[in-house]
Amino acid sequence: MRSTLVNRLVRLATTGAMVAGGLVLIGAPSEAAPPKRTEGHVTGDAWISFSLDPGNPLRRFVVDAHGNPYKVVGNKLVWGDARGTIRFNHPTPDGQGGMEDNWGTIDVDYVMTAGPVAVVSGKSTGNIGFPAGQRLSISVYDDPRGRRFDRLGFSWGVVDPACVPLGLGPAPFTTYDSGAGYVVKSVPLPAVPAGTEAPDPQPACGS
C-alpha cells in the first residue's frame, strides 16, 4: 500500500517537472526580432499633358514602385534598394486618323520619397528609342487636394536624357489629364549606422 502510494507520488512529481519544464521552455525569452523594414511606395496610373508637345501632348504613366534610395550591406552604403516597374505610353498618330500605342518599360532600382513627392529611377528594358540599360527617372507629386492636381515629370522630357544620374529627376512639370492618379507613401530615410563606409562613386556620363 505504502509502496503504491510512493510510486504514484513519484509519477506525479515527474509529470509536474515535465510540465513545468515545458512552461519554462515556452516562456523563455527569444532573440530580439530585427527591426521591421519600412519602404516608400509610389503607385498609380494616369494620362498627363506634356505642354512642350502641344500637337500630341498626352502621355500615360503606370507606376508600381517600392523601396528606398539605399541600403547598408556589411559596413558599406550601397545605392539603390527598390523594385517595381514604370510603364509609359507615348501614343503617336497612325496616319489613318487614329493613334498608335508606343510602350516603354523601366525596371526600378531606386525610390526616394519625401511627403507627397517622390523620385523613382531605373533602367530601360530597351524600347522606343532608349537602349537597354539606359537610366531613366520620373518624379511624382501626389497633391493633397486630389488626383486632378497630381503632377509627374520624366527625365527624357525636359532634362538631357543622355545623362541622368542615379536618383535625380526633374521637377514634376506635367499636369494631370485623366485616370486614377498617383499615390506617394513617404517613409523616413533608412538609418545608417555610425562608421558606415561611403558608397562607390557613380559612373560619369559618357563613360
Residue 167 placed within a domain:
yes
Cα-Cα-Cα-Cα dihedral sign, residues 92, 94, 99, 100: negative
Instruction: Let me know if residue 29 belongs to a domain.
Output: no
Decide if 151 is inside a domain. Answer: yes
Range of the domain at 162: 40-185
pLDDT digits (tens, 9 = 90+) for 31-83: 555 556 799 999 999 999 999 998 899 999 999 999 999 999 999 999 999 99
Q: Which of 126, 123, 120 is nearest to 168 (CA)?
A: 120
Its pTM stands at: 0.80
Decide: 59 and 89 in contact? Cβ < 8 Å. Answer: yes
Residue 51 is assigned to a structural domain of this protein: yes
The tens digit of pLDDT for each residue in 44-57 reads 999 999 999 988 99
Answer whether residue 30 is part of any domain: no
Q: Does pLDDT of 26 surpass 70?
A: no
Q: Mean of the pLDDT values across residues 167-196?
A: 95
Whether 196 is in a domain gets the answer no
- The set of residues, in sequence order, having a beta carbon less than 8 Å from that of 101 and lying 6+ positions away, is 89, 91
Indicate whether 146 belongs to any domain.
yes
Looking at the 3D structure of the chain, how many domains does it have? 1
